Structure 1
């Protein structure tokens, strides 16, 4: 039997999953079942997020609320998409510059 491949989760996913417990007051087991993840894993994420929130409050920072986290996620996706578009445009402009150079050089 081949070894089971370990799944990895993004930091954003971990934080959002933890906030499903923290913000709603639902149990870790209930949210873990809903997400299809191990409740021990979710428990670790919740503990880490609570520590992060407490540390932010100690230095006087207010943690992000659900709407701000959603906006941050949307903006990160948008930035990633724009970076892909930029990479494509750089490659396309290099291609067309080379084509133009070849065209003027062959005359």
Structure 2
């Protein structure tokens, strides 16, 4: 019995590609969440990258996604460091009492 081939809208494809490129989600989790085939997302990301190379407007969008991802990671790291410093300050303040 052959599987039914699903078709996805360009908007849907762009949405899931964004989840990976801009938000930093793992392809495996996106595939599971949206019940996608193994290679679908990887193919869509490759197609988007190829399209960005030929279209300067999309290339700028891809660069913005990469920058957004970098800043999200940097913010998450800063929050972790800040939480650690708060705990350390509370610990040492308790020691002084």
TM-score band by shorter chain is: 0.5 to 0.7
Aligned residue for 1:69?
A: none
Distance 1:60 1:4 in 2: 34
Unpaired runs of 5+ residues, structure 1, are 67-107
- The 3-state SS of whatever aligns with 1:7 is coil
Tell me the TM-score normalized by structure 1.
0.48
1:64-99 deviations in Å (ceiling 9; x for gaps)? 878xxxxxxxxxxxxxxxxxxxxxxxxxxxxxxxxx
Q: 2:24 & 2:5 partners in 1: Cα distance?
A: 29
The structure with the largest alpha-carbon Rg is 1
Pairing of 1:8-19 with structure 2 (within 5 A): 8-19=7-18
* CA distance in structure 2 between the aligned counterparts of 1:29 and 1:48, rounded to whole angstroms: 18
Instruction: Tell me the number of residue pairs that the alignment of Structure 1 and Structure 2 aligns.
Output: 64
Give the alignment's Cα RMSD to 1 decimal: 2.8
Q: Is contact 1:56–1:63 with CA below 8 Å preserved after alignment?
A: no
1:18 shift after superposition: 1.0
Offset at 1:36? 0.9
The 3 A distance-change label for structure 1 pair 61 and 22 is: closer
Structure ranking higher on relative contact order (CA contacts 8 Å, 6+ apart): 2
Does the 8 Å contact 1:28/1:39 carry over to 2? no
Give the superposition deviation at 1:56: 2.0
- When normalised by structure 2's length, the TM-score is 0.52
